[in-house]
Amino acid sequence: MAIVLIAGGSGLIGERLSFLLKAAGYEVRHFSRAVKPASPYPTYVWDVDKGTYDATAFEGVTHVINLAGAGIADARWTSSRKRLIIESRTASTRLLKKGIAAYGPEVKAYLAGSAIGYYGNRGDDWLPETAAPGKGFLSESVQLWEAAIAELTAELNLPTLLVRTGIVLSTQGGALPKMLLPLQVLTSTYFGDGQQWYAWIHIDDLCRIFVRGVADDTFRGCYNGVSPHPARNKTLAQALITATGKPAVLLPAPALALQFALGEMSHTVLDSARVSAQKLEASGFVFEYPELVPALQDLLERKI
């Protein structure tokens, strides 16, 4: 039986993934900044800033999943915040590499989240995994992150699964609750002209990619973790109205106002990335929620 150690297991994706892995019969452990006696999963303490970890966490572990990292849109992008966004990802990756090398002889794969920020602002272009990286902070930070992940293969000869994740839709956190807020006053907001492409994915479909990565030793490499049907921002805003059934109206948030309020972080809502899921589908992965409105309706109904 696989034993899975997750860094970032208490986050939005980590919690749902842990539940689905446990439901599939796998043993799940978490690396955490503090012991959590009430957690349904054994927790082991690590401190990325200090470079320390509980070595017993690796005993018998067959798969390591890293979902750790400071939130991209949680705070304004000051120079110190940018440094934290990068180092929380690269340093956690290298700390796990160190632990696997010293105490994880049974680890046979490293699975990691990455981000479609890799591609930057690309207009209407379809973006497969082979597309060149973009420009700007988001792309540069993801490139550094993926370079750290590549060290596990280069230095430990460890197979990896790297998932470039789009907007993860969940009612429990992330972007969706924020997007639903205007509907309380019967409006739905799009950003700028609303024509930028958003690559999204239902949280269960994203977690199923990682579950497959544990179950299938041949499922390795880099994949875009996005639905096969990206949506323009304005279409997404309308889909929220349709899914909730509220008599709301669409309203724009002007690009200049967003740039003034958010600064450089406005790229997170104004950039366009039409990301392809073709490689993932060609691998045999079947999406349970490929279409936007049914995905939203399911999330709202089940509250996940």
What is the dihedral sign for C-alpha 292, 298, 301, 304?
Answer: negative
pLDDT at 219: 98
Coil vs helix vs strand at 293: helix
How does strand 200-202 pair with strand 167-169?
A: parallel
What percent of the chain has a predicted confidence (pLDDT) above 90? 95
| Position 16 in a domain | yes
CATH of the domain at 127: 3.40.50.720
- Tally of CB atoms within 10 A around 165: 22
Q: Provide the pLDDT for residue 36.
A: 84
**193, 143, 130, 202: which is closest to 170 by C-alpha?**
202
> Does a structural domain hold residue 7?
yes
Residue 240, in any domain of the structure: no
Distance of alpha carbon 105 from alpha carbon 302, whole angstroms: 40
- Range in 18-32, 36-50, 125-139 with the lowest mean pLDDT: 36-50
Closest to 102 (Cα-Cα) out of 48, 148, 156: 156
Q: What pLDDT score was predicted for residue 268?
A: 94
Q: How many CB atoms lie within 10 A of CB 294?
A: 14
pTM, rounded to two decimals: 0.96
Q: Residue 178 domain-assigned?
A: no
Q: Is 259 a domain residue?
A: no
Q: Is the pLDDT of residue 277 over 90?
A: yes
* C-alpha–C-alpha distance, residues 303 and 18, integer Å: 17
Average of per-residue pLDDT across 17-36 = 95
User: How buried is 151 (Cβ within 10 angstroms: 0-12 exposed, 13-18 middle, 19+ buried)?
Assistant: middle
Q: How confident is the model at residue 1 (pLDDT cuts 50, 70, 90)?
A: confident
Does residue 256 sit within a domain?
A: no
The H or E element spanning position 146 is helix 137-156
> Is 14 within a domain?
yes
User: 3-class DSSP state for residue 167?
Assistant: strand
* pLDDT, tens digit, 9 for 90 and up, residues 59-79: 999 999 999 999 998 888 999
**Average pLDDT score over residue span 86-103:** 97
**Cβ atoms of residues 200 and 166 within 8 Å:** yes
186 lies in some domain:
no
Domain that holds residue 53: 3-167+202-226+277-287
Please tell me the total count of domains within the chain.
1
- CA-wise closest residue to 229 among 207, 208, 198, 205: 198
Q: What whole-number distance in Å separates Cα of residue 273 and Cα of residue 100?
A: 34
